[in-house]
Amino acid sequence: MKEVLLSIIGAGPAGLAAGLYGGRAGLKPLLIEKLSPGGQVLVTDWVENYPGFPDGLSGYDLIEKFASHARLFGMEELSGEIEEIQPVDGGFELSLSGGEPVFSRKVIVATGAGPNKLGVPGEEELTGKGVSYCATCDGPFFRDQTVAVVGGGDSAVQEAVFLTKFASKVYLIHRRDSLRAIKILQDKAFSNPKIEMVWNTVVESIKGKDGVESVELFNRSEGRRWELKVDGVFIFVGIRPNTGFLKGLVDLDENGFIVTDDWMRTSRPGIYAAGDCRSKPLRQIVTAAAEGATAAYAVEHDLAMQE
């Protein structure tokens, strides 16, 4: 069985920053990732608020920089999906789907979060056939077509603006009468002639045969129900953490995010958490990176205390 001092699960900004700091501290961390490095950043078209890059850069480019930075300090990588973390004497045994298990003294969980679903009829059946949770991935398929964006936060508004690069018309459907998004994004949306706001309205179902043809809408303040013809539906109604495999192992908050102290220690000694999967106020690249750095520092500190 492969034995390491530190495993890091997940290769978004939090996991890669933990790899950088853990590597620089001489821990030879092992980064375990399902696919390739990236996380949610890869579905971000353009990053304009990671401090130090005033010109902005693509999510892909930023992750490449993070990954090569961490590799420079000796981070190793393993491809695989964690099935279970089993506490054993002196550390943890990580079971991987389709791979040898790994013994690790300490574990940093940086598995991030994924999109919430609306949970309406047609959503699951038409996912990948016009229903999408990633404008960067699927926006280009809707050139000169009509799409609906569902949500009212930063992501929904930012992606609605982004989609106007391709679509001829974007309906921004929001269940309230005002947006939650920051002002700069609201201003961009309101001044964009391709975006039409649909206030106080929820999606009741998504209809179509081989692809999306329409959405059934319900205006909650007027009690009105109607059908809107669209070619695509982009859903941005929050995120849920990828923490299912941790149930019973560490304390989670009411939404399933991992609770930690200031050192990123979870309720179980030896397991740390960083990034979007953590219970915290602000989910940004820079906060994920800082938490990854802090978690690696805590691991280094806690290992030294045990020696």
Positions that interact with a second copy (CB under 8 A): 13, 16-17, 20-21, 24-26, 48-54, 62, 65-66, 68-70, 72-73, 182-184, 187, 262-263, 280-282, 284, 286-287, 289-294, 297-298, 300-301
Of 42 and 148, nearer to a second copy (C-beta) is 42
Q: Is 137 a catalytic residue?
A: yes
Smallest separation (angstroms) from a second copy to the CB of 167? 25
Catalytic-labelled residue, pool 61, 137, 187, 251 = 137
Q: Is 138 assigned a catalytic role?
A: yes
β-pairing, 201-208 vs 91-97, is unpaired
Given the residues 138, 154, 231, 276, select the one marked as catalytic: 138
For the question of residue 277 being annotated catalytic, the response is: no
166 versus 257: smaller Cβ distance to a second copy: 257
Judge contact between 251 and 267, C-beta under 8 A: yes
Question: Which CB sits closer to a second copy, 72 or 88?
Answer: 72
Give the shortest CB-234-to-a second copy separation in angstroms.
23
The rounded distance, in Å, linking the Cα atoms of 40 and 21 is 21
* Complete DSSP assignment for 207-255: EESSSEEEEEEEETTTTEEEEEE-SEEEE---EEES-GGGTTTS-B-TT
Cβ 173 to a second copy, closest distance in Å? 22
Q: Which residue has the tokens 């002196």?
A: 90
CB-CB neighbours of 274 under 10 Å: 34
* CA 302 to each of CA 105, 150, 259, 306: distance values in angstroms, whole numbers, following the listed order: 11, 45, 18, 6
Out of 45, 89, 134, 261, pick the active-site residue: 134
131 touches 233 (CB < 8 A): yes
**How far apart are CB 157 and a second copy at their closest, in Å?**
13
Which CB, 119 or 281, lies closer to a second copy?
Answer: 281
Please identify every residue annotated as catalytic: 134, 137-138
